[in-house]
Chain A
Protein backbone atom coordinates (compact mmCIF):
# COMPACT_ATOMS: atom_id res chain seq x y z
CA UNK A 1 0.00 0.00 0.00
CA UNK A 2 1.45 3.36 -1.00
CA UNK A 3 -0.82 5.73 0.90
CA UNK A 4 -3.00 4.87 3.87
CA UNK A 5 -5.06 7.58 5.53
CA UNK A 6 -6.91 6.45 8.62
CA UNK A 7 -9.53 8.46 10.49
CA UNK A 8 -7.86 11.76 9.63
CA UNK A 9 -9.05 14.85 11.48
CA UNK A 10 -7.56 18.24 10.70
CA UNK A 11 -8.27 21.84 11.62
CA UNK A 12 -7.41 25.10 9.91
CA UNK A 13 -7.35 28.18 12.12
CA UNK A 14 -9.10 26.18 14.85
CA UNK A 15 -11.94 25.14 12.54
CA UNK A 16 -12.48 21.41 11.96
CA UNK A 17 -12.24 20.67 8.22
CA UNK A 18 -11.39 16.97 7.96
CA UNK A 19 -13.54 14.85 10.25
CA UNK A 20 -12.50 11.24 10.00
CA UNK A 21 -11.25 10.70 6.48
CA UNK A 22 -10.17 7.23 5.30
CA UNK A 23 -8.44 6.60 1.99
CA UNK A 24 -6.03 3.99 0.66
CA UNK A 25 -4.16 4.19 -2.62
CA UNK A 26 -2.00 1.59 -4.38
CA UNK A 27 0.92 2.39 -6.66
CA UNK A 28 -0.20 2.89 -10.28
CA UNK A 29 -3.70 4.08 -9.35
CA UNK A 30 -5.39 7.37 -10.10
CA UNK A 31 -7.97 8.47 -7.55
CA UNK A 32 -10.30 11.40 -8.18
CA UNK A 33 -11.60 13.37 -5.21
CA UNK A 34 -14.77 15.31 -5.93
CA UNK A 35 -17.19 17.14 -3.73
CA UNK A 36 -18.85 20.46 -3.04
CA UNK A 37 -17.04 23.65 -2.09
CA UNK A 38 -15.73 23.65 1.45
CA UNK A 39 -15.81 19.86 1.80
CA UNK A 40 -12.08 19.72 2.57
CA UNK A 41 -10.62 18.65 -0.80
CA UNK A 42 -7.78 21.17 -0.88
CA UNK A 43 -7.18 20.71 2.84
CA UNK A 44 -6.49 17.04 2.17
CA UNK A 45 -3.81 17.99 -0.41
CA UNK A 46 -2.26 20.51 1.94
CA UNK A 47 -2.22 18.15 4.91
CA UNK A 48 -0.51 15.44 2.86
CA UNK A 49 2.15 17.86 1.63
CA UNK A 50 2.72 19.36 5.08
CA UNK A 51 1.62 22.95 4.75
CA UNK A 52 1.92 25.09 7.85
CA UNK A 53 -1.37 26.06 9.45
CA UNK A 54 -3.06 22.70 8.82
CA UNK A 55 -3.16 20.91 12.13
CA UNK A 56 -3.82 17.19 12.33
CA UNK A 57 -5.76 16.51 15.52
CA UNK A 58 -6.42 12.80 15.09
CA UNK A 59 -5.70 9.86 12.82
CA UNK A 60 -2.68 8.88 10.77
CA UNK A 61 -1.19 9.10 7.30
CA UNK A 62 1.22 6.35 6.23
CA UNK A 63 3.28 6.67 3.08
CA UNK A 64 4.95 3.41 2.06
CA UNK A 65 4.37 2.30 5.64
CA UNK A 66 6.06 5.33 7.25
CA UNK A 67 4.42 8.04 9.31
CA UNK A 68 4.21 10.99 6.94
CA UNK A 69 2.94 13.50 9.47
CA UNK A 70 6.19 13.81 11.34
CA UNK A 71 8.12 14.89 8.23
CA UNK A 72 8.87 18.45 7.09
CA UNK A 73 7.36 19.50 3.73
CA UNK A 74 10.74 19.17 1.97
CA UNK A 75 11.25 15.68 3.44
CA UNK A 76 7.86 14.63 2.11
CA UNK A 77 8.85 15.99 -1.31
CA UNK A 78 12.09 14.02 -1.14
CA UNK A 79 10.13 10.91 -0.19
CA UNK A 80 8.22 11.32 -3.45
CA UNK A 81 5.17 13.47 -2.75
CA UNK A 82 4.30 16.28 -5.14
CA UNK A 83 1.50 18.83 -4.85
CA UNK A 84 0.45 20.60 -8.04
CA UNK A 85 -0.90 23.84 -6.60
CA UNK A 86 -4.34 25.16 -7.28
CA UNK A 87 -2.77 28.63 -7.35
CA UNK A 88 0.90 28.25 -8.34
CA UNK A 89 2.97 30.97 -6.66
CA UNK A 90 4.72 33.69 -8.67
CA UNK A 91 8.30 34.18 -7.52
CA UNK A 92 9.89 37.15 -9.29
CA UNK A 93 13.68 37.00 -9.55
CA UNK A 94 13.97 33.23 -9.10
CA UNK A 95 14.78 31.60 -12.40
CA UNK A 96 12.64 28.57 -13.25
CA UNK A 97 15.58 26.42 -14.35
CA UNK A 98 17.74 27.34 -11.38
CA UNK A 99 14.92 26.61 -8.96
CA UNK A 100 14.02 23.29 -10.51
CA UNK A 101 17.61 22.09 -10.63
CA UNK A 102 18.09 23.07 -6.98
CA UNK A 103 14.91 21.15 -6.10
CA UNK A 104 15.85 18.05 -8.10
CA UNK A 105 19.36 18.01 -6.66
CA UNK A 106 18.02 18.42 -3.12
CA UNK A 107 15.84 15.37 -3.72
CA UNK A 108 18.67 13.37 -5.31
CA UNK A 109 20.97 14.23 -2.43
CA UNK A 110 18.32 13.06 0.05
CA UNK A 111 18.08 9.75 -1.77
CA UNK A 112 21.86 9.38 -1.93
CA UNK A 113 22.03 9.87 -5.70
CA UNK A 114 24.67 12.04 -7.39
CA UNK A 115 23.59 15.61 -8.14
CA UNK A 116 23.19 16.67 -11.78
CA UNK A 117 25.44 19.36 -13.22
CA UNK A 118 23.89 22.06 -15.37
CA UNK A 119 24.58 20.24 -18.67
CA UNK A 120 23.04 16.97 -17.45
CA UNK A 121 20.11 18.86 -16.04
CA UNK A 122 19.49 20.79 -19.23
CA UNK A 123 19.45 17.56 -21.22
CA UNK A 124 16.87 16.06 -18.87
CA UNK A 125 14.75 19.18 -18.95
CA UNK A 126 14.73 19.35 -22.74
CA UNK A 127 13.48 15.76 -22.93
CA UNK A 128 10.65 16.56 -20.55
CA UNK A 129 9.71 19.73 -22.39
CA UNK A 130 9.50 17.77 -25.61
CA UNK A 131 7.25 15.12 -24.07
CA UNK A 132 4.93 17.81 -22.72
CA UNK A 133 5.13 20.02 -25.84
CA UNK A 134 6.18 23.05 -23.81
CA UNK A 135 8.35 25.81 -25.25
CA UNK A 136 11.80 26.18 -23.67
CA UNK A 137 11.05 29.87 -23.24
CA UNK A 138 9.71 28.73 -19.85
CA UNK A 139 13.22 27.89 -18.67
CA UNK A 140 14.47 31.45 -18.94
CA UNK A 141 11.61 33.04 -17.04
CA UNK A 142 11.13 33.62 -13.33
CA UNK A 143 9.00 31.03 -11.57
CA UNK A 144 5.40 31.60 -12.75
CA UNK A 145 5.97 35.35 -13.05
CA UNK A 146 3.59 36.83 -15.58
CA UNK A 147 2.42 33.36 -16.65
CA UNK A 148 -1.14 32.94 -17.87
CA UNK A 149 -3.40 30.59 -15.91
CA UNK A 150 -2.76 27.82 -18.43
CA UNK A 151 1.03 28.36 -18.39
CA UNK A 152 1.09 28.15 -14.61
CA UNK A 153 -0.74 24.82 -14.59
CA UNK A 154 1.49 23.45 -17.34
CA UNK A 155 4.52 24.55 -15.37
CA UNK A 156 3.23 22.50 -12.43
CA UNK A 157 2.97 19.44 -14.65
CA UNK A 158 6.41 20.17 -16.08
CA UNK A 159 7.88 20.30 -12.56
CA UNK A 160 6.17 17.01 -11.83
CA UNK A 161 7.70 15.49 -14.96
CA UNK A 162 11.18 16.58 -13.88
CA UNK A 163 10.84 15.59 -10.22
CA UNK A 164 9.15 12.24 -11.00
CA UNK A 165 7.24 11.87 -7.73
CA UNK A 166 5.69 8.56 -6.69
CA UNK A 167 2.53 10.28 -5.44
CA UNK A 168 1.24 13.38 -7.21
CA UNK A 169 -1.67 15.41 -5.90
CA UNK A 170 -3.28 17.61 -8.54
CA UNK A 171 -5.29 20.26 -6.72
CA UNK A 172 -7.93 21.62 -9.10
CA UNK A 173 -5.45 21.60 -11.93
CA UNK A 174 -8.38 22.15 -14.31
CA UNK A 175 -9.64 25.35 -12.67
CA UNK A 176 -9.28 28.42 -14.81
CA UNK A 177 -8.34 26.49 -17.94
CA UNK A 178 -10.10 26.70 -21.29
CA UNK A 179 -10.79 23.46 -23.08
CA UNK A 180 -7.59 23.51 -25.17
CA UNK A 181 -5.40 24.23 -22.17
CA UNK A 182 -7.23 21.51 -20.26
CA UNK A 183 -6.45 18.98 -23.01
CA UNK A 184 -2.77 19.96 -23.01
CA UNK A 185 -2.50 19.60 -19.25
CA UNK A 186 -4.39 16.29 -19.26
CA UNK A 187 -2.19 14.95 -22.02
CA UNK A 188 0.85 15.84 -19.94
CA UNK A 189 -0.57 14.09 -16.91
CA UNK A 190 -1.40 10.97 -18.93
CA UNK A 191 2.17 10.80 -20.21
CA UNK A 192 3.26 10.62 -16.59
CA UNK A 193 0.98 7.74 -15.63
CA UNK A 194 3.02 4.73 -14.66
CA UNK A 195 2.87 1.55 -12.64
CA UNK A 196 4.95 2.97 -9.80
CA UNK A 197 3.20 6.31 -9.64
CA UNK A 198 -0.10 7.13 -7.96
CA UNK A 199 -2.10 10.30 -8.41
CA UNK A 200 -4.83 12.07 -6.49
CA UNK A 201 -6.84 14.31 -8.81
CA UNK A 202 -8.88 16.88 -6.91
CA UNK A 203 -11.54 18.45 -9.08
CA UNK A 204 -14.97 20.04 -9.12
CA UNK A 205 -15.86 18.91 -12.58
CA UNK A 206 -16.17 15.70 -14.43
CA UNK A 207 -14.72 17.17 -17.64
CA UNK A 208 -11.12 16.71 -16.46
CA UNK A 209 -11.91 13.05 -15.85
CA UNK A 210 -12.91 12.62 -19.50
CA UNK A 211 -9.24 13.17 -20.23
CA UNK A 212 -7.63 11.68 -17.14
CA UNK A 213 -9.65 8.55 -16.51
CA UNK A 214 -9.46 7.61 -12.82
CA UNK A 215 -9.43 4.13 -11.33
CA UNK A 216 -11.48 5.31 -8.38
CA UNK A 217 -13.71 8.30 -7.67
CA UNK A 218 -14.44 9.49 -4.13
CA UNK A 219 -16.97 12.00 -2.94
CA UNK A 220 -15.69 14.13 -0.10
CA UNK A 221 -18.34 15.97 1.90
CA UNK A 222 -18.08 17.66 5.29
CA UNK A 223 -14.62 16.27 5.90
CA UNK A 224 -15.29 12.62 5.10
CA UNK A 225 -15.39 10.31 2.12
CA UNK A 226 -19.12 9.64 1.74
CA UNK A 227 -19.12 7.64 -1.46
CA UNK A 228 -16.61 5.81 -3.62
CA UNK A 229 -16.97 4.23 -7.01
CA UNK A 230 -15.38 3.79 -10.40
CA UNK A 231 -15.19 6.41 -13.15
CA UNK A 232 -18.98 6.17 -13.68
CA UNK A 233 -19.57 7.79 -10.32
CA UNK A 234 -18.14 11.03 -11.67
CA UNK A 235 -20.63 10.94 -14.57
CA UNK A 236 -23.54 10.46 -12.18
CA UNK A 237 -22.33 13.37 -10.07
CA UNK A 238 -22.14 15.55 -13.16
CA UNK A 239 -25.78 14.70 -13.91
CA UNK A 240 -27.17 14.96 -10.43
CA UNK A 241 -24.95 17.45 -8.60
CA UNK A 242 -24.45 17.28 -4.85
CA UNK A 243 -28.00 18.10 -3.75
CA UNK A 244 -28.42 14.49 -2.61
CA UNK A 245 -26.06 15.23 0.23
CA UNK A 246 -28.75 17.42 1.77
CA UNK A 247 -31.58 15.11 0.80
CA UNK A 248 -30.54 12.42 3.18
CA UNK A 249 -27.31 11.10 1.94
CA UNK A 250 -25.91 8.63 -0.39
CA UNK A 251 -28.94 6.32 -0.46
CA UNK A 252 -30.94 8.92 -2.33
CA UNK A 253 -28.42 9.04 -5.15
CA UNK A 254 -29.29 6.86 -8.10
CA UNK A 255 -26.04 4.97 -8.36
CA UNK A 256 -24.60 1.58 -7.65
CA UNK A 257 -22.17 1.86 -4.84
CA UNK A 258 -19.17 -0.38 -5.17
CA UNK A 259 -17.84 -0.87 -1.70
Chain B
Protein backbone atom coordinates (compact mmCIF):
# COMPACT_ATOMS: atom_id res chain seq x y z
CA UNK B 1 0.00 0.00 0.00
CA UNK B 2 2.67 2.49 1.06
CA UNK B 3 4.95 2.18 -2.04
CA UNK B 4 2.05 2.71 -4.42
CA UNK B 5 0.78 5.64 -2.39
CA UNK B 6 4.26 7.16 -2.39
CA UNK B 7 4.49 6.85 -6.18
CA UNK B 8 1.02 8.31 -6.65
CA UNK B 9 1.74 11.27 -4.41
CA UNK B 10 5.04 12.12 -6.03
CA UNK B 11 3.52 11.77 -9.52
CA UNK B 12 0.38 13.79 -8.79
CA UNK B 13 1.59 16.73 -6.74
CA UNK B 14 4.44 19.09 -7.32
CA UNK B 15 6.93 19.79 -4.53
CA UNK B 16 5.82 16.93 -2.33
CA UNK B 17 8.61 15.08 -0.51
CA UNK B 18 7.78 11.60 0.77
CA UNK B 19 9.89 9.78 3.35
CA UNK B 20 9.02 6.19 4.24
CA UNK B 21 9.76 5.78 7.92
CA UNK B 22 8.65 2.18 8.40
CA UNK B 23 6.72 -0.44 6.50
CA UNK B 24 3.36 1.14 7.09
CA UNK B 25 4.39 4.63 8.12
CA UNK B 26 5.46 7.59 6.07
CA UNK B 27 6.03 11.28 6.36
CA UNK B 28 4.92 13.71 3.66
CA UNK B 29 6.26 17.25 3.42
CA UNK B 30 3.95 19.33 1.26
CA UNK B 31 4.01 23.02 0.34
CA UNK B 32 1.56 25.20 2.20
CA UNK B 33 -0.90 25.87 -0.63
CA UNK B 34 -1.35 22.24 -1.58
CA UNK B 35 -2.35 21.06 1.90
CA UNK B 36 -6.12 20.85 1.23
CA UNK B 37 -5.74 18.91 -2.02
CA UNK B 38 -3.15 16.52 -0.62
CA UNK B 39 -5.28 15.99 2.46
CA UNK B 40 -8.36 15.28 0.36
CA UNK B 41 -6.35 12.90 -1.80
CA UNK B 42 -5.06 11.02 1.25
CA UNK B 43 -8.56 10.82 2.69
CA UNK B 44 -9.85 9.26 -0.49
CA UNK B 45 -6.91 6.82 -0.50
CA UNK B 46 -8.16 5.32 2.76
CA UNK B 47 -6.66 7.55 5.46
CA UNK B 48 -10.02 8.62 6.80
CA UNK B 49 -9.11 9.53 10.37
CA UNK B 50 -7.41 12.78 11.39
CA UNK B 51 -5.96 11.68 14.71
CA UNK B 52 -4.18 14.88 15.64
CA UNK B 53 -3.26 18.30 14.39
CA UNK B 54 -0.11 19.62 15.95
CA UNK B 55 2.42 22.40 15.59
CA UNK B 56 6.17 22.75 16.17
CA UNK B 57 7.97 26.05 16.65
CA UNK B 58 11.37 26.00 14.89
CA UNK B 59 12.50 29.37 16.15
CA UNK B 60 16.03 29.26 14.66
CA UNK B 61 14.73 28.55 11.16
CA UNK B 62 11.92 31.08 11.69
CA UNK B 63 9.27 28.54 10.83
CA UNK B 64 6.23 26.82 12.23
CA UNK B 65 5.73 23.22 11.21
CA UNK B 66 2.10 22.14 11.24
CA UNK B 67 1.65 18.36 11.38
CA UNK B 68 -1.48 16.46 10.38
CA UNK B 69 -1.43 12.93 11.81
CA UNK B 70 -3.56 10.63 9.68
CA UNK B 71 -4.50 7.01 10.26
CA UNK B 72 -7.25 4.77 8.95
CA UNK B 73 -10.13 3.13 10.76
CA UNK B 74 -10.03 -0.63 11.16
CA UNK B 75 -13.20 -2.03 9.68
CA UNK B 76 -12.48 -5.77 9.93
CA UNK B 77 -10.56 -7.81 12.47
CA UNK B 78 -8.17 -8.94 9.74
CA UNK B 79 -7.14 -5.34 9.12
CA UNK B 80 -5.11 -5.36 12.32
CA UNK B 81 -2.75 -7.98 10.98
CA UNK B 82 -2.75 -7.12 7.30
CA UNK B 83 -0.83 -4.36 5.60
CA UNK B 84 -3.95 -2.19 5.59
CA UNK B 85 -2.64 -0.32 8.61
CA UNK B 86 -1.35 3.07 7.61
CA UNK B 87 0.06 6.00 9.50
CA UNK B 88 0.89 9.16 7.61
CA UNK B 89 2.34 12.41 8.92
CA UNK B 90 1.52 15.28 6.59
CA UNK B 91 3.74 18.24 7.35
CA UNK B 92 3.94 21.76 6.06
CA UNK B 93 6.13 24.70 6.93
CA UNK B 94 4.90 28.25 7.30
CA UNK B 95 6.83 31.41 8.15
CA UNK B 96 6.84 32.62 11.74
CA UNK B 97 5.86 36.16 10.76
CA UNK B 98 2.08 36.38 10.29
CA UNK B 99 1.54 32.62 10.14
CA UNK B 100 -1.62 31.64 8.31
CA UNK B 101 -2.97 28.45 6.85
CA UNK B 102 -6.17 27.37 5.18
CA UNK B 103 -8.63 25.62 7.45
CA UNK B 104 -9.35 21.97 6.67
CA UNK B 105 -12.69 21.74 8.45
CA UNK B 106 -14.49 21.02 5.18
CA UNK B 107 -12.36 17.87 4.77
CA UNK B 108 -12.07 16.70 8.38
CA UNK B 109 -14.72 18.18 10.61
CA UNK B 110 -12.89 17.20 13.78
CA UNK B 111 -10.07 19.60 12.93
CA UNK B 112 -12.12 22.43 14.42
CA UNK B 113 -10.95 22.24 18.07
CA UNK B 114 -7.38 21.40 17.03
CA UNK B 115 -7.20 24.51 14.90
CA UNK B 116 -8.65 26.61 17.68
CA UNK B 117 -6.07 25.21 20.08
CA UNK B 118 -3.15 25.89 17.73
CA UNK B 119 -4.50 29.37 17.11
CA UNK B 120 -4.53 30.23 20.79
CA UNK B 121 -1.28 28.48 21.79
CA UNK B 122 0.86 29.37 18.75
CA UNK B 123 -0.97 32.26 17.12
CA UNK B 124 -1.38 30.55 13.76
CA UNK B 125 -4.34 31.96 11.88
CA UNK B 126 -6.62 29.53 10.04
CA UNK B 127 -8.48 31.06 7.10
CA UNK B 128 -12.09 29.96 6.87
CA UNK B 129 -12.42 28.82 10.48
CA UNK B 130 -15.90 29.77 11.74
CA UNK B 131 -14.92 30.71 15.30
CA UNK B 132 -11.32 31.28 16.28
CA UNK B 133 -12.06 32.13 19.92
CA UNK B 134 -10.01 30.94 22.92
CA UNK B 135 -10.51 27.32 23.81
CA UNK B 136 -8.55 26.69 27.01
CA UNK B 137 -6.96 29.89 28.22
CA UNK B 138 -8.61 32.47 30.44
CA UNK B 139 -6.23 35.42 30.19
CA UNK B 140 -4.77 37.41 27.31
CA UNK B 141 -1.13 36.66 26.55
CA UNK B 142 1.08 39.09 24.65
CA UNK B 143 2.90 36.24 22.98
CA UNK B 144 1.02 32.96 22.56
CA UNK B 145 2.37 30.78 25.39
CA UNK B 146 3.62 27.80 23.38
CA UNK B 147 5.95 29.88 21.23
CA UNK B 148 9.60 29.42 22.08
CA UNK B 149 10.14 33.13 22.72
CA UNK B 150 7.46 33.20 25.44
CA UNK B 151 9.35 33.61 28.73
CA UNK B 152 7.37 31.39 31.08
CA UNK B 153 9.42 32.13 34.20
CA UNK B 154 9.11 35.87 33.76
CA UNK B 155 5.39 35.61 33.08
CA UNK B 156 4.83 33.41 36.15
CA UNK B 157 6.86 35.78 38.33
CA UNK B 158 4.88 38.78 37.16
CA UNK B 159 1.46 37.17 37.29
CA UNK B 160 1.32 34.67 40.14
CA UNK B 161 4.36 35.93 42.05
CA UNK B 162 2.81 39.37 42.51
CA UNK B 163 -0.26 38.12 44.34
CA UNK B 164 0.12 38.72 48.09
CA UNK B 165 -0.99 36.30 50.80
CA UNK B 166 -4.24 37.32 52.44
CA UNK B 167 -3.45 36.51 56.06
CA UNK B 168 -0.26 35.97 57.98
Whether both chains belong to one complex is answered with no
**A positions within 8 Å CB-CB of B:** none
Interface residues of chain B, those whose CB is within 8 Å of chain A, are: none
